[in-house]
Amino acid sequence: MNGLRPDLALIADWVAPRSQVLDLACGDGALLAHLQTTKGCRGYGVEINDAQVLACVRAGVDVIQQDIEAGLGMFHAPSFDVVVLSMAIQMTHQTERVLREMSEVGSEGIVSLPNFGHWSHAWSILRGRMPVSRELPYEWFDTPNLHMSTVRDFEAFLHRLGLTITGRAFLKNGRPVGRLPGLRSTQAIYRFRRG
Amino acid sequence: MPQRMRFDAPLPLRSGASIAGYELVYETYGSLNADRSNAVLVCHALNAGHHVAGVYADHPEDVGWWDNMVGPGKPVDTDRFFVVGVNNLGSCFGSTGPMSTNPATGKPYGPDFPVVTVEDWVHAQARLADALGIERFAAVMGGSLGGMQALAWTTLYPMRIAHCVAVATAPKLSAQNIAFNEVARRAIITDPEFHGGRFYDHGVVPARGLQVARMIGHITYLSDDAMGEKFGRALRRHVTDTVLRNDYRFTFDVEFEIESYLRHQGEKFSTYFDANTYLLITRALDYFDPALAHGGDLARALAPALADFLLVSFTTDWRFAPERSREIVEALLANERRVTYAEIDAPHGHDAFLLDSPQYMAVMRSWFERIDACVRTQRSGR
């Protein structure tokens, strides 16, 4: 066990050895550190938070301190095989723009996100309360999450942006989900390409 | 303690001139390891020199200009690294400069001292490294104009620098930056006591020009907010005041605290800084533009670089704003170099690179731990 967050472990499985990776909102750089040591990948993290930037430096991960919503113009010249956005898309203001830029900067995009459509969330709302769960641990009044979606919402969104889904995986509390992922998964992971 | 190294072979300069028989003053801290792989070169900016860290036994008040960064247990830990601080050519702090005797005339160089560039300084530093037996620096670091030297190292001597640490710097000056430098130079050159740069012969110093130059410099080193917070519109209390005044004096004497501060800084500066050196160093800043020879393409200019880079900027620095560091980062990304960029939220403006903000210090410390790890890995690998 490498201690990697389950969605990151799944993403790492999808990244080919020696890929050039851009990890947006990379947090403490755990994914890149893992990819560097186990798969000989190279790449950069992008992170706005001071403590996380410091954690990246300590982890030996190259990080560019920047708000991903300030645009990815800086990252157009290098060619990235994979651009990752893990568990952060729900916090973006200009979600469409971020996704579009991701698809432009790299050959392949990978996104992990919380599934708002999990049955427990519906149940919570039926009982009159906003859902609070492991993947969505915030109360409605202090949440950084702006754009929540269900699995089906997100697939429709990728489709609308003209992106082709090349892989999908679903997790419930870190374990794979087979049947009825739209209702039973708490996290979804998608990989996609242009066209 | 400062040491001197003499170089008899002529150093060809970018201007086409050359300088022979020059001396560089330098200091070292820590000790060079057996395979000479733990050396760090610290490049200075406008108003600094070789005295990077520590204090002198006979001058305990003379603290090195980057003492908060360099020393035992500091982010650039001299228990691990062999740190070299060198005073650049043209300076007034000991290395050969306009105040030195021109062997051709037996008088001070004055205005005849050749115009030197960032690249010239780097070549001179490389010769010092040769003399010290340092084939390759673990890191070359600097802030502001010092950052430009660190950057220049990566393309002039790509095999001789493993890590480049460039803080609060820019790939070239903006028109506004050159404008500030020009105002400072005009203040000096038009001072009647400048005497075309030969003021030494007249036993005077263009102090008023230097003061104005320093005042305008100081304004650009501080952020509007930092200045507002430190001085606001507070009135200067004069010695004759028995109570705190709340009205103006209606004169052109020092009225506000900020005026008093700037004048004090200017006066202090004019007692120790050489006017010709000020002209030379600001010109070196103006001329730095590695992309110029590559049609303005910074990525192409930096293409020879092999180092790993750390770029640091400060949010309130408007003299060398974060956007200027990002230009460098973008060029390095285009070249797929290893680069980390930290944008430090600090209120002080350009001066922040000399101050302690916790995030800045922590990033520098962690980066140098990474460099130390590289040094150790290479050593154990042989």
Task: Quote the DSSP letter at residue A90.
Answer: G
The three-state (H, E, C) secondary structure of chain B, written as one string: CCEEEEECCCEECCCCCEECCEEEEEEEECCCCCCCCCEEEEECCCCCCCCCCCCECCECCCCCCCCCCEECCCCEECCCCEEEEECCCCCCCCCCCCCCEECCCCEECHHHCCCCCHHHHHHHHHHHHHHHCCCCECEEEEECHHHHHHHHHHHHCHHHECEEEEECCCCCCCHHHHHHHHHHHHHHHCCHHHHHHCHHHHCCCCHHHHHHHHHHHHHHHCCHHHHHHHCCCCECCCCCCCCCCCCCCCCCCCCEHHHHHHHHHHHHHHHHCCHHHHHHHHHHHHHCCCCHHHCCCHHHHCCCCCCEEEEEEECCCCCCCHHHHHHHHHHHHHCCCCEEEEEECCCCHHHHHHCCCHHHHHHHHHHHHHHHHHHHHHHHCC
> Tokens for B218?
């100081």
CB B365: neighbour CB atoms within 10 A?
19
User: Chain B contact for A107, CB < 8 A?
Assistant: no
Q: Say if the Cβ atoms of A77 and B299 lie within 8 Å.
A: yes
Q: Which residue has the higher pLDDT, B375 or A79?
A: B375
Q: Nearest Cα to B133, choosing from B242, B6, B39?
A: B39
User: Chain A contact for B342, CB < 8 A?
Assistant: yes
User: Looking at residue A66, what is its pLDDT?
Assistant: 97
Q: Say if the Cβ atoms of B334 and A77 lie within 8 Å.
A: yes
Beta-bridge partner residues of A192: A109, A165
User: Looking at residue A136, what is its pLDDT?
Assistant: 86
B342: which chain A residues are within 8 Å (Cβ-Cβ)?
53, 57, 63, 65
CB B28: neighbour CB atoms within 10 A?
19
A44: which chain B residues are within 8 Å (Cβ-Cβ)?
333, 339
Reported confidence tier of residue A2, pLDDT bands at 50, 70, 90:
low
Q: What is the distance in angstroms between the Cα of B88 and the nearest Cα belonging to chain A?
A: 31
Q: β-pairing, A80-86 with B11-12?
A: unpaired
Q: How far apart are CA A36 and CA A46, in angstroms?
A: 16
Please state the pTM of the whole predicted model. 0.95
pLDDT 10s digit of each residue in chain B, 382 long? Answer: 899 999 999 999 999 999 989 999 999 999 999 999 999 999 999 999 999 999 998 998 999 999 999 999 999 999 999 999 999 999 999 999 999 999 989 999 999 999 999 999 999 999 999 999 999 999 999 999 999 999 999 999 999 999 999 999 999 999 999 999 999 999 999 999 999 999 999 999 999 999 999 999 999 999 999 999 999 999 988 777 777 777 888 989 999 999 999 999 999 999 999 999 999 999 999 999 999 999 999 999 999 999 999 999 999 999 999 999 999 999 999 999 999 999 999 999 999 999 999 999 999 999 999 999 999 998 876 5
Q: Say if the Cβ atoms of A54 and B363 lie within 8 Å.
A: yes
User: Looking at residue A185, what is its pLDDT?
Assistant: 95
Whether residue B144 lies in the annotated active site:
yes
Q: What is the distance in angstroms between the Cα of A185 and the nearest Cα belonging to chain B?
A: 36
User: Chain B contact for A18, CB < 8 A?
Assistant: no
User: Looking at residue B358, what is its pLDDT?
Assistant: 97
Q: Say if the Cβ atoms of A77 and B326 lie within 8 Å.
A: no
B338: which chain A residues are within 8 Å (Cβ-Cβ)?
62
Q: Say if the Cβ atoms of A78 and B339 lie within 8 Å.
A: no
- The distance in angstroms from the start CA to the end CA of chain A is 36
Structure confidence by residue, pLDDT tens digits, A105-114: 999 999 999 9
